[in-house]
Amino acid sequence: MTDWAQVAALALIQGMTEFLPVSSSAHLILPSQIWGWPDQGLLFDVSVHAGTLCAVLWYFRPTFGSFLTSVMPGSAADRSELWSLCIATIPVVIVGVVLKDLIAIEARAVAVITVTTLGFGVLMGLADRVSKRGAMRQGPVSYGHALLIGLAQVFALIPGTSRSGVTITAALFLGYHPAAATRFSFLLSVPVIGGALLVMLATVDAGETLLEAEAMLLAFVLSAVFAYATIKVFIYWLDKVGLMPFVVYRVLLGLLLWVWIT
């Protein structure tokens, strides 16, 4: 029987944390580790990932529209940003395929989440300070820098790291303005979330426990709405106050988890 409260809570968590630099995977794993919440199943994961994917596609629809136009025969549109996104996606695809089983089993421990939450929180704080020192690149992201950001994104396969957090951090260290870093990070989420969604769909079989259709719809809608709202608020907030509030949150959460596991 579907626990509607848990479905709603986890969908809200996914929607709000997918694009914040706090790690959505960690925030989905921790409730099950701390409060014993059961796994909602693969179809739940499909629903919330589809929701967040729709949110980012809708928010950046003019950009993705221009990407589609750029690949049309005879188009003279600039394809450089699209190529940068493709280059940045390659490392996480390769490492994700090779180490998928190891990461799925070993990296979900609370101790691992504690270390990554603290460690990458500190790195994000350093990057935030670097971004305030002077003139920053507004973009576009070069191919070489795209590869470096893509290599950094590999660490996001470990829960607690945060895909958006580590890619924004890498871009800031490379000298990009926070707005440019965030934009590239969010655009980069589309092939990553889309790829994860395809893998999940390919994994679903007849033996998968079916989530009620109403629960799947609820998970999809809540994750999509809150992901879209989070993107808008985060982009506005980042321009005003920077990353430091999220750094403080990560450090406090990491310390609380450290106390809990010891």
pTM for this predicted structure: 0.90
What token pair was written down for 222? 């809540």
Quote the CA–CA distance of 140 and 188 in Å, as a whole number: 13
pLDDT of residue 47: 87
Quote the CA–CA distance of 89 and 94 in Å, as a whole number: 9
pLDDT of residue 83: 93
What token pair was written down for 214? 């109403």
CA distances from 154 to 51, 131, 135, 242 (A): 23, 22, 28, 24
pLDDT of residue 135: 62
| Residues contacting residue 196 through CB under 8 Å, at least 6 positions apart | 49
Q: Going from the first residue of the chain to its last (262 residues), give the mean pLDDT of each consecutive group of 10, the final group possibly shorter.
A: 79 92 82 72 82 96 89 69 95 87 66 91 94 79 96 92 94 94 96 88 64 82 96 90 93 90 82
pLDDT of residue 74: 55
Bridge partners, residue 137, by sequence: 176
pLDDT of residue 173: 95
What token pair was written down for 211? 């989530």
SS (H, E, C) the chain: CCCHHHHHHHHHHHHHHCCCCCCHHHHHHHHHHHHCCCCCCHHHHHHHHHHHHHHHHHHCHHHHHHHHHHCCCCCCCCCHHHHHHHHHHHHHHHHHHHCHHHHHHHCCCHHHHHHHHHHHHHHHHHHHHHCCCCCCECCCCCHHHHHHHHHHHHHHHCCCCCHHHHHHHHHHHCCECHHHHHHHHHHHHHHHHHHHHHHHHHHCCCCCCCCCHHHHHHHHHHHHHHHHHHHHHHHHHHHHHCCHHHHHHHHHHHHHHHHHHC
Give the start-to-end residue ranges of the domains of the chain. Answer: 4-68+79-261
